[in-house]
Structure 1
Amino acid sequence: MIEIERKFLVTSEDFKSESFKKTRITQGFLNTDPERTVRVRLKGEQGFLTVKGKSTDNGLKRFEWEKEISKPDAEALLDLCEKGVIDKIRYEVKKGKYIFEIDEFFGNNEGLIMAELELEHENDSFEAPHWLGKEVTGDIKYYNSQLSQTPYNTW
């Protein structure tokens, strides 16, 4: 239930030709308080409800609980969410023993492309793809909950 994750900006669209999976994601937030966010997500035909706790000071670790819910339930809950729905396509790219999840954002966050990498331990090393740019782990403005409130195109 503890997630260890690093976030990076992406410098090119080369990841698209390397991806083995691509999924449309729509998500909203029932609560965007940094102490505890509650997210509703439609990932393809699957729905999910996720609770995330506050990140550690370095932004690497936080509590995460996720439960699959039905698509109709997710759609109904999305109607209750705070303003600012996130619309993105997630690409998955395998490098070494890890899978990079690359999100290409649309709507008010169009132009932003970020990669996330979940690690087993904070100090794990990994093979960095050539398209991996600046690390933004711990920079709260890149959290999806914040992007829903203050979109990329308003910076």
Structure 2
Amino acid sequence: MNEIERKFLVKSDKFKEEAQKKISIQQAYLNTDPARTIRVRTTGDKAYLTIKGKSNKSGTSRFEWEKEIPLEEAKELLKICEPGKIVKERYLVSSGRHTFEVDVFLEALEGLIIAEVELQDENDEFEIPSWLGKEVTGDVNYYNSRLVEKAAQKG
């Protein structure tokens, strides 16, 4: 299955007033090779193993496979992940017929806020909220697999 999304920096915290839900997330990587990243993620009492392939040329689309796994198994896998961990709060914000996932990074990446919107296809149009900033789709510096390296360097 392909994931099609666009990513943006966020220029204000007004999205918090519009959010329908907030989720705490911790994640780390078993593999950060750009051709195939393997992520372990916990969200409350749930956990997931995700494999992502290399992005297309525009950075909007790539293969993604995700499976829910037992939380205890995820905790064991987190122990053998590459250095670095991402801790963030995700806000779900509806805008028109789409939902933005706004990630507020904590700990080593505190201060960074990124919004993503999943699309049906690369030409899918969406409403642009007032708090949305510069688009960073396809900029590898904003891939979580790259951000985890920055987190490892800081902490």
Unaligned runs of 5+ residues in structure 2 are: none
For 1:99-110, what aligned pairs fall within 5 Å after superposition?
Answer: 99-110=99-110
Report the counterpart of residue 119 of structure 1 in structure 2.
Answer: 119
* Cα shift at 1:40: 0.1
Structure 2 counterpart SS, 1:84:
coil
For 1:4-153, what aligned pairs fall within 5 Å after superposition?
Answer: 4-151=4-151
* Cα shift at 1:150: 2.2
Structure 1 counterpart SS, 2:76:
helix
Q: Which letter maps to 2:48?
A: F
Runs of 4+ in 1 over 2 A off after TM superposition: none
Query: What is the alpha-carbon distance in structure 1 between the residues aligned to residue 76 and residue 116 of structure 2?
Result: 28
RMSD over equivalenced CA pairs, Å: 1.3
Query: What is the alpha-carbon distance in structure 2 between the residues aligned to residue 121 and residue 142 of structure 1?
Result: 21
Map Cα deviations across residues 46-97 of structure 1 (whole Å, 9 max, x no partner): 0000000000111000000000011111111111100010000000001111
Map Cα deviations across residues 7-40 of structure 1 (whole Å, 9 max, x no partner): 0000010111100010000000000000000000
> What TM-score results when the alignment is normalised by the length of structure 1?
0.96
Query: What is the alpha-carbon distance in structure 2 between the residues aligned to residue 17 and residue 76 of structure 1?
Result: 36
Query: What is the alpha-carbon distance in structure 2 between the residues aligned to residue 122 and residue 53 of structure 1?
Result: 17
Query: What is the alpha-carbon distance in structure 2 between the residues aligned to residue 115 and residue 143 of structure 1?
Result: 12
State how many pairs are aligned: 154
